[in-house]
Structure 1
Amino acid sequence: MHGTANQPRRARRLSAATAAHFIRALAAANPEPRPELDYADPFTLLVAVVLSAQTTDLAVNKVTRTLFAEAPDAAAMAALGAEGIARHIRSIGLWQAKAKNVAALSHILVEQYGGRVPEDREALEALPGVGRKTANVVLNVAFGQDTMAVDTHIFRLGNRTGLAPGDTPRAVEDGLVKRCPPELLRDAHHWLILHGRYVCKARRPECWHCVARDYCNYPDKVAGPSAS
């Protein structure tokens, strides 16, 4: 199958055993993966992830440095309001909608949850600007739940490698949850996001230094740059 910008080329599905080897190879190369977004607690993590939609983590970290200094919790963020939030985040994509969402979700957290971030998926997904991927990140990173947050990198990776082919992010998510060794599930989305971001890139995957290359079904593996 040939891919498009929204539907990456799909490889033949890996066997369950090979999929486990793939993930174990990533785990061995990076035993203690860490999110690249800066945060201090569940609230600042939630806001950072909401702001990261269609924006790099580096760009988000630059704006949250001053935003969180002025509004480190839900009450302060709600008081800052959309206009006050917007002053800090104008350099990132979709800043107007994001400012409104962060202000609105902060009000809800204050009014309904005493300023705390709920540990419940349904409650999280009911917040403005929070979809399944964002909820999965918060549940995983802040609360230690075994969730799989599928972003564009993981969606591409699941299809390109054969690890968990699927037409939708949810299909890829479900496939990865089924095929990931249970003891590695909590950290697996970190390994996969980092692998998709820095190695299995969208335009030209760097297959020549992929630690999971031997377990990948991508039919067009890229040779390393020729020596000069």
Structure 2
Amino acid sequence: MPRESKRAKRERGVEVCRRMGELYPDVESALSFDGPFTLVICVLLSAQTTDVAVNKVTPELFRRWPTPQAMAAAEVLEVEDVIHSLGFYHTKARHCVECAQAIIASFGGEVPGTMEELVTLPGVGRKTANIVLNKAFGVVDGIAVDTHVYRIASRLRLVDAPTPAQAEPQLLDVLPRELWGPVNEQWIHFGRETCTSQRPKCDACALVDLCPSAFKANGKPNARPRRRSS
């Protein structure tokens, strides 16, 4: 493939976002939350597990500890008992309690509303902070680049970074700021339904003409429809 100019890449990125908007015009978060605090905890718990799995444990979690004040006083072992079905539940339980304690100690019991403040909370990195800012405060300060967003951006060759964290600034440089807001949710759905990790459905993909990796996911030939012999 010939080297693509930055302008051409940006134009292709804008068209990707336009088509994603047509595919998922009203997409909402799959996580169940009712405010900034429960959202922080939900996103913290969702690392390396599914939203479905998180939604199974959070009703009991938030029944017992619905506020930062309640969670800050929880015993980590008790939180572990509630979320033990999730991966890395030992660390996540500790982060839930420590995060609540930090919200009390540093922010008067209110979840902070800036990137700089959110990333000081235990267990909260830039990806989590981006989601909380977007969903809880209506602030778009970046793009939450999870495994789905990273996979799609890499296959589209909008980024060439070795990690999701390093991919975010590249993606922000390619996409106009006014398009950042819905990227995470739309691309997550697209990654689950079409651009899957192992067997992407390139033959049914709305972006196939924009994708340099079409039918070559992970560098290998993939799922090109076969012609039937007559």
Shift of 1:90: 0.6
Partner Cα distance (2:226, 2:189) in 1: 21
Higher relative contact order (CA 8 A, sep 6+): 1
| TM-score (norm: length of structure 2) | 0.87
Give the structure 2 partner of residue 216 of structure 1. 211
**Cα drift, residue 224 of structure 1:** 5.0
Listed one character per residue, the Cα deviations across residues 51-97 of structure 1 (whole Å, up to 9, x for unaligned) are 11111111001000111112111111112231221121011101011
- Give how far 1:40 is off: 0.6
| Counterpart Cα distance in 2 of 1:145 and 1:210 | 31
Unaligned runs of 5+ in 2: 217-221
**Number of matched pairs:** 217
Amino acid at match of 2:54: V
Q: 1:18 to 1:103 in 2, by over 3 A?
A: same
Decide which of 156, 164, 168 is 2:159's aligned counterpart.
164
2:70 counterpart of 1:69: no
Matched, 1:132 2:126: yes
CA distance in 1, matches of 2:25, 2:157: 23
The question of 1:141 aligning with 2:135 is answered yes
Unaligned segments of structure 1, at least 5 residues: 1-10
Query: Which residue identity does 2:97 align to in structure 1?
Result: A
Structure number with larger C-alpha Rg = 2
- Could you tell which deviates more after superposition, 140-149 or 166-175? 166-175
In the TM superposition, what are the counterparts of 1:33-72 in structure 2 within 5 Å? Answer: 33-72=27-66
* Aligned positions of 1:137-216 closer than 5 A: 137-146=131-140, 147-216=142-211
- Could you tell me how far apart the structure 2 residues matched to 1:86 and 1:77 are? 12
Relative to 1, partners in 2 of residues 1:192 and 1:73: Cα closer, same or farther, differing over 3 Å? same
- TM-score normalised by structure 1 residue count: 0.87
Alignment RMSD: 2.1
| Contact 1:19 1:179 (C-alpha < 8 Å) held by counterparts | yes
